[in-house]
Amino acid sequence: MKTSQTSFFKTQFKSRLINFIFISSSIGLVIYLFFSSFSLLPKNTTKVVSSIDSLLGGGDQQISAPTSLDHIVFGIASNAKSWPKRKEYVKMWWKPDKMRGCVFLDVPLDNNTAATSDDASLLPSVCISDDTSRFRYTWRGGLRSAIRVARVVSETVALNHSNVRWFVFGDDDTVFFPDNLAKTLSKYDHDLLYFIGSNSESFAQNRFFSFSMAFGGAGFAISYPLAKTLAKVLDSCLERYPHLYGSDGRISSCLAELGVGITREAGFHQMDMSGDPFGVLAVHPMTPLVSLHHGDYLDPIFPNMTNRDAMRHLYKAAELDPHRILQQTVCYDRWYSWTISISWGYSVEVFGNHVLLPDVLRVPATFSPWKKGNVLNSLFTFDMREHDKDPCKRPVVFHMNTTFVEEDKTVSIYKMMEHSNCTSYNGSPRNIETIKVYAQKLNLNMKQMYAPRRQCCDVLPSSKHEKLDIGIRECHEDELIQMPK
C-alpha cells in the first residue's frame, strides 16, 4: 500500500514538474519574442511608436528639436509699386537674425525707391520673379500677376536653403506673429505632406473662390516634402487653371491634384471685412494668433492711431507674451454685477450686467462686409452678437495702453480711448479709469496646443470702483466660468 502511494505521488510530482517547466519555457519564449520584435521594426516605425509615446506624455526624449524660426523659409509676394510702402508692415515682424526667405518683386526697384542700407538690414532679401509670359491667362477680370505670385512657391523652394521644415507664404501686407507661427507648426510632423492655412471670414468669398482653399493673404504653410514635390509639377499644373482668379486658388488646385487638402488653423486671419475689426480681435479663438491681413483696408485696430502705428502698438504686447496675445478670458464681478471679457494685450470689454458665457464668446459685429449688395456678403463664418448703434448701450471698451513685466508677472494696463456722452450712474463701468491685468507668461506645451482650455480670471480685492485689478490664472480642475445666480 505504501509503495503504491509513493509511486502515485512520484508520478504526480513528475507530471506537475513537467507542466511547470513547459509553462515557464512558454512564458520566457513569449517575452523574448516580444522584446526582440522591436529590433526587427523598421526605423521609421520605431519613430512612429516613439512619437506617439511622446505625444501621450510617456517619453521624456524628443525625436528632434521643436520647430523654430530657423526651420522656416518665407516667400513674400509683392511688386515694385507697393513694396516701398508695404515694407513697413514686413519690418514689424521680420527678424533678420532668425529668419530666411525672400520678397519677390515683378521688376527691380529704381534707385529712388530702393531700400537704404539701414532699411535693407531690417528686411528680407529682394528677389526678382521669373518671366511668366509663356503662360496662358484667360480670366477677364483677373491680373496676370496671379501666375507670377503662384510661382513664388517654386521659386522659394529653388533658393535651396538647408535644414528647412516649412515654407511659409504671404502677401506684403500679411503681418505674421513669428513665435506663434513656429509654435503652431510644431503641432505637425514636417516629414508628412501638410498644407496649413485658413479660409476667409466672409461666407461669400469662400463660396466664390473655394471653401477648400487656404487664402493667401492670411498666409499658409507647406511642409518641406510637399513643397519640393509641388515645385516639380507646378508649371505644368498652372497651365490647367488659367480661368482661376488668384494665385492661392491655383496653389490649392495643384495641391488637390497631388491629393493634399487644407489643414485649417484658426490663427491665420484673412480679414475679409471692412470698417472696425474690433470684434474679431476681441473674441479670438483659443489658438495662438498667427497672422493678420488687410492692414491698410481696415480701420486702425487702436483708436486715435494710424493703421501702422496701431499694429506696432499690438506688437509691443505680442513681443512680451506672444502666446497670450488676443487670448480671451472672461470673469464676473459679483459686487457690481459686471461681466468682464479680456482680449489680452488688446482690449477689455466690461458689460454693465451679467451675461451668459456663450453670448460673451460671440463676435460683436463691429465691422462691415468686404463687398456690398448681395445678402450673402453680410454672412460670416463665425457666431456673432449685435453691436448696438447707440454707444451708450454697448459694453464699455478699454484698449491696451501699455504692457510691462513686474517681478514674475506680466502687467497690461487698459484705458478708455474713445469717450462718449453717456450718463454714468453709480456702479456703471463707465466710471472706471484704469484696468490693470496681471498674468503669468503663457508658455504653451504641445498638450495645451492639442487640447486648449480657456483660462480663468478674478477681480482682485485691491480693486476700487475707478481702478479695476484683475488676475488671470489657470482654472481649477472642475471650475466653471459661469454667470453668478
pLDDT at 36 over 50: no
**Which residues, in sequence order, are bridge partners of residue 340?**
331, 350
Length of the chain measured in residues: 485
- Looking at residue 56, its pLDDT comes to 39
| 454 pLDDT above the threshold of 50 | yes
For the ranges 223-227, 232-236, 265-269, 406-410, the lowest mean pLDDT is seen at 406-410
pLDDT tier, 344 (very low <50, low <70, confident <90, very high otherwise): very high
pLDDT of residue 290 exceeding 90, the answer is: yes
DSSP 378: G
> What's the distance, CA 286 to chain centroid?
9
pLDDT at position 57 over 80: no
Mean pLDDT of 363-367: 97
Q: What is the mean pLDDT of the chain?
A: 88
Stated as kind and residue range, the H or E segment containing 328 is strand 328-333
Write down the pLDDT at residue 230.
98
Grid cell locating 245: 482668379
Torsion, CA 432, CA 438, CA 444, CA 450, rounded to 10: -40
* Structure confidence at residue 143 (pLDDT): 85
Read off the pLDDT of residues 118-141 as tens digits, 9 standing for 90 and up.
688 899 999 999 999 999 888 888
Q: What is the pLDDT of residue 450?
A: 95
Distance CA(196)–CA(186), nearest Å, equals 12
Residue 34 vs residue 480, higher pLDDT: 480
- Determine the pLDDT at residue 418: 84
Side-chain-facing half-sphere of 300: CA atoms under 13 Å: 15
3-state secondary structure of 158: coil
Query: Is the CB of residue 171 less than 8 Å from the CB of residue 217?
Result: yes
The number of angstroms, rounded, from the C-alpha of 13 to the middle of its chain's C-alpha atoms is 71
**Distance (Å, whole) CA 82 – CA 76:** 12
- How far is Cα 241 from Cα 88, in angstroms, rounded to an integer? 33
Per-residue pLDDT at 19? 54
Distance CA 417, CA 130 (A): 48
Residue 300 predicted with pLDDT over 60: yes
- The reported pLDDT for the residue numbered 2 is 40
What residue type is assigned to position 76 of the chain? I
For 136-139, the CB contacts below 8 A with 24+ separation are 136/239, 136/242, 137/242, 138/242, 138/243, 139/242, 139/243, 139/244, 139/245
Q: What is the pLDDT of residue 64?
A: 77
The Cα 161–Cα 124 span in angstroms is: 14
pLDDT tens digit string along 9-22? 444 444 554 454 44
All structural domains of the chain, each given as residue ranges with its CATH number in brackets, are 69-270 (3.90.550.50), 323-473 (no CATH)
Looking at residue 483, the DSSP 8-state letter turns out to be: -
The yes-or-no verdict on residue 59 having pLDDT over 50 is no
Res. 112: pLDDT tops 70: no
Confidence of residue 463 (pLDDT cuts 50, 70, 90): confident
* Helix, strand or coil, per DSSP, at residue 414: strand
Instruction: Sort residue 160 into left (φ over 0), alpha (ψ -120 to 50) or beta.
Output: left
Tens digits of residue pLDDT in 315-332 = 999 999 999 999 999 999
Q: Lowest-confidence range among 44-58, 98-112, 129-143?
A: 44-58
pLDDT above 90: percentage of residues in the chain: 76
Q: Averaged over 399-424, what is the pLDDT?
A: 92
What is the CA 125 to chain-centroid distance, rounded? 25
